[in-house]
Chain A
Amino acid sequence: MKIHAFLPRALLLLLLLAVHPALVDSEAHSPSAGDEEPPADWLDEKLGAHLPLDAAFVTSDGQTVLLGDLIDRPTLVVPVYYRCINVCNFLLGGLASALPDVKLEAGEAYRVVAISIDSDETPELAAKSKRTFFSAMQGTFPPDAWQFLTGEEENIRKVTDAAGYYYKKEGDDFLHPVVAFVVTADGRIVRYLSGTRFMPLDLTMALVEASEDRIGIPLRKALQFCFSYDPAGRRYVFNLLRVSGTVILLTLGSFLVYLILSGRKKKT
């Protein structure tokens, strides 16, 4: 009687046991995107599109340059505005903490270009921002390898429209996607990286692909791609858990079966 009352619950628990490792798994491995992203339609990924390399911008030293002067190698383009009080800083801060760990030589193998989407901002503001994030990197990054640009509305729009990056001014602030993108030496977009935190591995992979001039796949797939590529770490963890879990259960299961079958020890 009492055992019968337990059975349905035990079955339910077994069922849940079977289901939930999958849940935990998907949870633990989901990419950590920024929390403050605007709606997705603010970004229209235009993989393979070209940036207008003739657009003119001003560097934080006050020099006027064409985008093509800077984008002569794989480049990470980061649209932000320097007066932004939240996500842009997280985005730049996330880059500042990830860039020193990118396994490529900054300035040689790739470059980073931050572009202000606010045409009212000045090179002084850009220079201030540059100082902030370079001091966060504690001198581990060559100054020329990360440019902070400002420019005219017209030039900004040319670049952002080409990248499918749409923003809107609201009061003093901008509504804009939180995303950076990687372009090849001839300005072709190969990868969007969204969110405020970056994994050096993702950045490295994207830049490597840009240098090989391959067209990337959207971020989500790329993450999975990275993970299966990610050597030791990822695979090793996963298999270790699965294998050791199975071994423990099988061992103990057969131990229990042995104990039940052998029963009470006969005393002589």
Chain B
Amino acid sequence: MNEATPRYGGFFAESPRPGILGWLLSTDHKRIGIMYLACITSMFIVGVCLGLAIRLELIAPGPTIMGAQTYNATFTVHGVIMIFLFIIPSIPAAFGNLLLPIMIGARDVSFPKLNLLSWYFYISGAILAVIAIFSGGGAPDTGWTFYVPFSTQTTTNVNLAVTAAFMLGFSSILTGINFVTTIHRLRAEGMHWGRLPLFVWTLYATAWIQVLATPMLGITLVLVLLERLFGAGLFDAARGGDPILFQHLFWIYSHPAVYIMILPGMGVISEVIPTFARKPLFGYWAMALSSLAIAFAGSLVWAHHMYASGMSDMAIMIFSLLTFLVAIPSAIKVFNWVSTLYKGSIQLAPPMLFALSFIFLFSIGGLGGLALGAAASNLHLHDTTFVVGHFHYTMFGGTGFAFFAALHYWLPKFTGRMYDHKPAVIAWALLFVGFNITYMSMQAVGIQGMPRRYYDYLPEFHTLNRVSTIGSWILAVGLIVMFVNLWRGIRGGRRVGNNPWGATTLEWQVPSPPPMENFGAQDPVVTKGPYDFKGVVADEY
């Protein structure tokens, strides 16, 4: 990636420090973004391998490749890595860092050193998480939710895993503070709120959730540690504590966190679709405000994870209602994307294919969410693999595919090289097919009653589990094709100009890769909206 070329190398070539220190001590938002991207992608690959191992174990009833304890540890670590080390930082920390300042016409974020610090928090958390797998009493086996009382009693290495999640939380908060301040303070001249690209709006909404909700996670995890190390009794009913309290505290963060995960993905889609439909985004303000509405309403729905934990009917009804309300701004977004496509001149370039499948998969995931948000069907579906299928549809089919769309859309910008389109389309097709086979059968077998988090199952669930496992292999092949193709593109793809896609936002007006400080001597002055395609032409690539 860090390839020195005789020709223009952008920020890869310009650094006050040589070699690896030029990265590790760099406060340049693009370098930090690239470091995040590298770590996050590595973590994603680790998580994928664990996920494949889970699916392989479930290919037949009974122990196939692992026993119960290993299985418990595997799905826990898969969850922790995917949630805390991949999805939460994926788009905001990696692409947010790369793009946010350029998109608003700034030369960097407001607090560049804090930005680097957040990366160090991230990497420390990641290292701790990996150590937790191999040290102490063995890899944590609580599930990524760390539910008490089990998490306070298990002998596995929950302490370290919880500390890791705590550090990652800090990283997330710092990024949030940085982004909020940057968006308020560092917009270029003429870049008023109505001209912010939608990706920036979603980062803005996300950043607020990050700073508001993540402290709750920190507090909760500290309480778990107090409980484990000092027997504080906060969650122990026998000593006047309350285990349900943990679930409330945990979900007060972790439900808003799913909007931290999905909102930036929606932002990516809102950038990609206008570019490849060659049309301004339909309903700019509805899209911008629906991001804020999702962030706000999404903060009030946490207890819909707890219908089966023991709550009053009144509370269940209110949380169910609020959950349904979140569907409104989400649907606004889906309808607006579709309306943007209407009568557009659609180009099915790789980023667009990922974006279109995002709409499809996210809609399935979202509708499944309504089935889970309704109290009655929830009791049937609670803790079944339907839930697992549902959140993979939203998190992987949603955020994951948005992340892939972002990779295909912006990597040429930041590496200055274009990948090969044909393998990219093949990879997309494999991913799309494999994804649906894997997770649709998971949802189906969940409706039949298969509980989640078991390494074994009844014979009647065999067929669908086998189908799901086969789907996971297709998915894996798709990922390999995609990553190999992207890597080859980064290393030796054709060079691209400023604007290979003919997009309108500011980052496409600077060279690829962008120079240090993004803009030359002159600060940019913004004179038109983010999706004004008049006179914008795509470079040939």
User: Which residues does A use to contact B, with CB under 8 Å?
Assistant: 2-3, 6, 9-10, 13, 16-17, 19-20, 23-24, 26-29, 32, 97-98, 101, 197, 199-201, 226-227, 230, 232-234, 236-237, 240-241, 244, 248-249, 252, 255-256, 259-260, 262-265, 267
Q: Once the chains bind, are A13 and B296 in contact (CB under 8 Å)?
A: yes
CB-based contact B181/A267 at 8 Å: no
A20 to B219, CA, bound (A): 21
Query: How far, in angstroms, from A237 to B212 measured CA to CA in the complex?
Result: 20
> Does the CB pair A226–B240 fall under 8 Å?
yes
With A2-B286, A98-B238, A233-B233 known as contacts, the answer to whether A262 contacts B212 (CB < 8 A) is: no
Using a CB–CB cutoff of 8 Å, the interface residues on chain B facing chain A are: 177, 180-181, 184-187, 189, 208, 211-212, 215, 219, 232-234, 237-242, 244-245, 248-249, 285-286, 289, 293, 296-297, 300, 303, 310-312, 314-315, 318-319, 321-322, 325, 328, 523
Q: A17-B300, A24-B303 are in contact. Are A233 and B311 (CB under 8 A)?
A: no
A-B residue pairs, 10 tightest by C-beta: A259-B184, A265-B185, A230-B240, A23-B315, A233-B240, A27-B312, A28-B244, A233-B233, A248-B215, A2-B285
CB <8 Å contact, A262 and B240: no
If A199-B240, A227-B240, A244-B215 touch, does A264 touch B322 (CB 8 Å cutoff)?
Answer: no
Do A23 and B314 contact each other (CB < 8 Å), given the known contacts A101-B238, A199-B237, A264-B185? yes
Question: How distant is the Cα of A101 from the Cα of B233 in the complex, in angstroms?
Answer: 13
- What chain B residues lie within 8 Å of A6 (beta carbons)? 289, 293
Inter-chain contact A259/B181, CB cutoff 8 Å = yes
Other-chain contact of A233, B177, B234, B318 (Cβ < 8 Å): B234
Q: Which residues of A contact B237 (CB under 8 A)?
A: 32, 197, 199
Contact call A248/B303, Cβ cutoff below 8 A:
no
Residues of chain B lying within 8 A (CB to CB) of residue A241: 219, 249
Q: Report B-chain residues with C-beta under 8 Å of the C-beta of A244.
A: 215, 219
13 intermolecular pairs with C-beta atoms under 8 Å apart: A2-B285, A9-B293, A16-B322, A20-B318, A23-B314, A23-B318, A24-B315, A27-B310, A29-B242, A233-B239, A240-B219, A255-B180, A264-B187
> Which residues of the other chain, B, contact A3 by a CB distance below 8 angstroms?
285, 289
User: Which residues of the other chain, B, contact A233 by a CB distance below 8 angstroms?
Assistant: 232-234, 239-241
- Cα A13 to Cα B319 with chains together (Å): 11
Residue pair A13, B219 in contact (C-beta under 8 Å) = no
Closest to B318 in A: A20
Q: In the complex, A192→B27 CA distance in Å?
A: 66
Minimum C-beta distance from A198 to chain B (A): 9
Q: How far is the CB of B288 from chain A (nearest CB, A)?
A: 10
Known: A6-B293, A201-B240, A259-B180. A20 touches B187 (CB 8 A): no
Question: What residue in chain B is nearest A247 (Cβ atoms)?
Answer: B215
B242 adjacent to A200 (CB under 8 Å)? no
**Closest-CB distance, A213 to chain B (whole angstroms):** 25
Whether the Cβ atoms of A24 and B239 lie closer than 8 Å is no
Q: Is the CB of A13 within 8 A of B215?
A: no
- Is A234's CB under 8 angstroms from B215's CB? no
Of the residues B187, B212, B240, B300, contact of A13 by C-beta under 8 Å:
B300
A244 to B218, CA, bound (A): 11
Partner of B212, one of A24, A200, A252: A252
Measured between beta carbons, the chain A residues less than 8 angstroms from B189 are: 267
- For B249, list chain A residues within 8 Å (CB): 241
Q: Complex Cα distance A255/B179, Å?
A: 13
The answer on a CB contact under 8 Å between B238 and A23 is: no
Q: In whole angstroms, what is the CA distance A144 to B268 when docked?
A: 72
Q: How far, in angstroms, from A265 to B182 measured CA to CA in the complex? A: 10
**How many angstroms between the C-alpha atoms of A1 and B242 in the bound complex?**
46
Given contacts A240-B219, A264-B185, are A9 and B325 in contact (CB under 8 A)? yes
Shortest distance between the CB of A95 and any CB in chain B (Å): 12
B216 to chain A, nearest CB (A): 8
Kindly identify which residue among A199, A263, A265 contacts B238, using a CB–CB cutoff of 8 Å.
A199
| Bound complex: CA A6 to CA B321 (Å) | 17
Q: Among the listed A27, A197, A265, which residue makes an inter-chain contact with B311, where contact means beta carbons less than 8 Å apart?
A: A27
| Given A199-B237, A244-B219, A262-B300 contact (CB < 8 Å) | no
